[in-house]
Homo-oligomer: A and B are copies of this chain.
């Protein structure tokens, strides 16, 4: 009997979110362990397919750094980074395109299809969706690394309107039609803004954002984020993530979430429970 009351409570907690998010777009940056461990891949597929089935419109943006590195090595190319950004000469770019657009993207499409929803793979080059210009690191040219200038979300909308879960590889194209490598978090954020998404969810390999005392933070405002960066509590890899969230929020996304992708059903719990499991960032 206890169980039933508990169940009823979970439902009463979750149902209003269902109502609120019907027909809303949720952009999920997919990467890290959630993409490589079998159980997490399965739980991710279940979550995304369930979202789709109850009328929410998920959009998946994926990364693929490790797989790029591995293929480069097989081809005798040596991965090099400046401030965490891959130096992308032409042979490297060829590998980036093949691995992101040709292999990983299609693996995720099949993962979702086997889970019971229809998926359609896209890259930022389809419909020239993600327009970029060459990005400098400081004043150093790191090759074909793109800074997003403009996003035309029409291909994603068309795919979603046709009933597909769009799966997007983070590539971009400049005005001359040259293709570029784009950071996956940035791509997810920019697409979320362009799609007027309800939520941006970044699946990461950390628990979320913590304060100086190591306590997990359920919610963070822009001001708090800035303070935590200033005091050095948020640092390194987490900085671009929170900034990507803030950019998306400023671009019109209703809420942004940094969520631990190593937890099974992380997406479902983040969306359908009052407190969520990750860190919610708001303006």
Contact = CB atoms under 8 A, between A and B. Distances in A.
Interface residues of A, number: 66
A8 interface: yes
A55 B103 CA distance: 34
A177 B127 CA distance: 27
A50 B118 CA distance: 28
Interface stretch (A138-146, A186-194, A211-219, A267-275): A267-275
A98 B99 CA distance: 6
B103 A22 contact: no
Contact of A54 (B19, B119, B123): B19
Interface stretch (A32-40, A158-166, A240-248, A251-259): A158-166
B103 A155 contact: no
Interface in A1-46: 4-8, 10-12, 14-16, 18-19, 22, 46
Interface string A87-129: 0000000100111111101100110011000111111011110
6 contacts: A11-B14, A16-B53, A98-B99, A106-B126, A126-B164, A162-B162
